[in-house]
């Protein structure tokens, strides 16, 4: 699985003007299941994410993880993270998992974060979503597992 993680002071996702999920301080996680991914990949990504030390401690150093801060995660499916731009000018997405499997792993990943004690808000798989955020730092990190 692949994720683009942004440390945020707030984030929200809307579909057709309706807010589906919003968080205060925490992480916006744009996530994509890739061809061949399974639950073990989702488990590994969730475990990495909750322990990723990208929040400031009292000394201003990035030493704290999401679990340490009590922050939330806004998890948004984004198959375009699988974009292959190696040929031509139009990205290809053939490395993304098929939609049914992508949706299943997206939901499984969010459930794994909840099982780790993280408050999770979500978008809607396959929907045309509007995501808003205030990137804190800015801190943006790419994760591949």
Instruction: Give me the active site residues, please.
Output: 78-80
- φ and ψ at residue 108, rounded to 5 degrees: -65, -45
Angle at 23 between CA 35 and CA 66, to 5 degrees: 70
* Contact criterion met (CB below 8 Å) for 75 and 123: yes
In the block, residue with structure tokens 């808003």: 132
C-alpha torsion 64→69→74→80, nearest 10: 0
Write down how long the chain is: 145
Exposed/middle/buried for residue 116 (C-beta within 10 Å: 0-12, 13-18, 19+): middle
Q: How many helices (H) and strands (E) does the chain have?
A: 3, 8
């Amino acid at each position: 699985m692949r994720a683009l993680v942004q440390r945020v002071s707030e984030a929200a996702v809307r579909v057709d003007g309706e807010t589906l999920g919003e968080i205060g301080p925490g992480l916006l996680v744009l996530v994509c299941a890739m061809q061949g991914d399974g639950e073990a990949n989702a488990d590994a990504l969730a475990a990495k994410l909750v322990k990723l030390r990208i929040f400031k401690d009292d000394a201003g150093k990035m030493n704290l993880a999401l679990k340490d801060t009590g922050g939330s995660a806004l998890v948004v499916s984004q198959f375009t993270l699988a974009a292959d731009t190696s040929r031509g000018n139009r990205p290809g997405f053939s490395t993304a998992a098929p939609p049914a499997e992508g949706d299943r792993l997206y939901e499984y990943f969010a459930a794994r974060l909840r099982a780790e004690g993280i408050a999770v808000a979500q978008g809607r798989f396959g929907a045309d979503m509007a995501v808003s955020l205030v990137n804190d730092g800015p801190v943006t990190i790419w994760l591949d597992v």
